[in-house]
Amino acid sequence: MAESALALPVRRTWWSRLWRNRVASTGGLFIIAAIAISLVGPALYAGLLAPEQRQLRDGIYQDYNAINDGPSALHWFGADYLGRDVFTRLLTAIRVSLTVALVVETINIGLGGGLGIIAGYFGGAADMLISRLADMLFAFPGLLLAILVSAVFGETARNLYGGVGRLLLVSSALSLVSWPLMARFMRGQALALKSRDFVVASQSLGASNLWIIVRHVLPNVAWLIIVAATLDVASVIVNEATLSLLGLGIEEPGASLGLMIFKAASRLERYPLQLFFPAATITLLVLAFSFLGDGLRDVLEGGSGR
């Protein structure tokens, strides 16, 4: 078995350590619950009503008799300024945030992680080109660059693909500012690994670079990538909400946590709960992913958990 830069934990030990870390396990359970309820919650929520009333819990349908109403048996979290059910829109917003985070981290791992490993392992011209490209993107404040991209291409994306276009644009803009950090991190790991004895021995035995990367480099950085991506999800959720808050992300009649906050901000004094629910959801999601990422890092480093 190849020597590891950071020894990967045995599967049973990994799970037991993560489970003993109460903060991390709570964060993980909350994330699983958020995913499940965002997928099946709207249908179950509407199903509690008689068939002729179910449209009242549609996140788009406007119940003019419940405009700006507080929580009730009909609308658990109340209704917004257009009479739309806040709870249903909140579940939809959670699904949007998690979808954006999934797309961003997939690109982040594939592009940033792949380019970082190439730069660190091969060095030379590849390292120079990838590193300078990352430095160019680092020269811009990340969120401001995402705002610029969303502002410039937002109208085009909406005209071509509608609401899905805005979702893809937000994901692409946030990926653009996320992958350089992952690339720099993976470059450092690849640089450290390529001088290890097991890599040098494989090279001297005539193993191909692709085989060495797949057999030795990737297994030793896989968990580091997972931890980095998990921790990065928290900032992606906040940045996506910020773009929507500024009117550069998801648009009406779609739902986004940032968009819900933006629409409720002007009515904060009279209807504070309309802002409280999406703001609290963002806070809980960010804390959950941060706690889970910290717990995974503790497990990777051999910690016994809190």
How far is Cα 4 from Cα 276, in angstroms, rounded to an integer? 46
How big is the CA angle at 190 (ends 184 and 196), to the nearest 5 degrees? Answer: 150
Query: Which of 171, 178, 137, 176 minimizes the C-alpha distance to 248?
Result: 171
Mean pLDDT of 67-84: 93
- Look at residue 9 in the predicted model and tell me its pLDDT: 47
Contact 234, 289 (CB under 8 A): yes
What are the boundaries of each domain within the chain? 20-300
How far is Cα 242 from Cα 238, in angstroms, rounded to an integer? 6
Contact 17, 299 (CB under 8 A): yes
> Which CATH number applies to 20-300?
1.10.3720.10
**Polymer length in residues for the chain:** 306
For residue 304, the SS3 value is coil
Q: Which has the minimum average pLDDT: 45-59, 155-169, 233-247?
A: 155-169
- Look at residue 2 in the predicted model and tell me its pLDDT: 43
- Look at residue 23 in the predicted model and tell me its pLDDT: 87
For the entire predicted model, the pTM comes to 0.86
Q: Is the pLDDT of residue 1 over 50?
A: no
Q: Quick one: what percent of the chain has pLDDT higher than 90?
A: 50
Res. 81 pLDDT band, cuts 50 70 90: very high
Q: Which two tokens stand for residue 182?
A: 């992952």
- Look at residue 19 in the predicted model and tell me its pLDDT: 79
Q: Is the pLDDT of residue 5 over 70?
A: no
For residue 85, the SS3 value is strand
Query: Which of 170, 224, 165 minimizes the C-alpha distance to 5?
Result: 224
Query: What's the chain's average pLDDT?
Result: 87
Q: Is the pLDDT of residue 302 over 70?
A: no
How far is Cα 257 from Cα 242, in angstroms, rounded to an integer? 9
pLDDT tens per residue, range 225-272 = 988 999 999 999 999 999 988 888 888 888 899 999 999 988 889 999
For residue 192, the SS3 value is helix
> Beta partners for 85?
79
Of residues 22 and 305, the one with the higher pLDDT is 22
pLDDT tens per residue, range 39-50 = 999 999 999 887
Contact 262, 247 (CB under 8 A): yes
Q: Is the pLDDT of residue 34 over 90?
A: yes
Contact 134, 206 (CB under 8 A): no
With a CB cutoff of 8 Å and minimum separation 6, the contacts of 232 are 104, 105, 108, 178, 181, 182
Q: Residue 133 half-sphere exposure, CB side, CA atoms within 13 Å?
A: 16
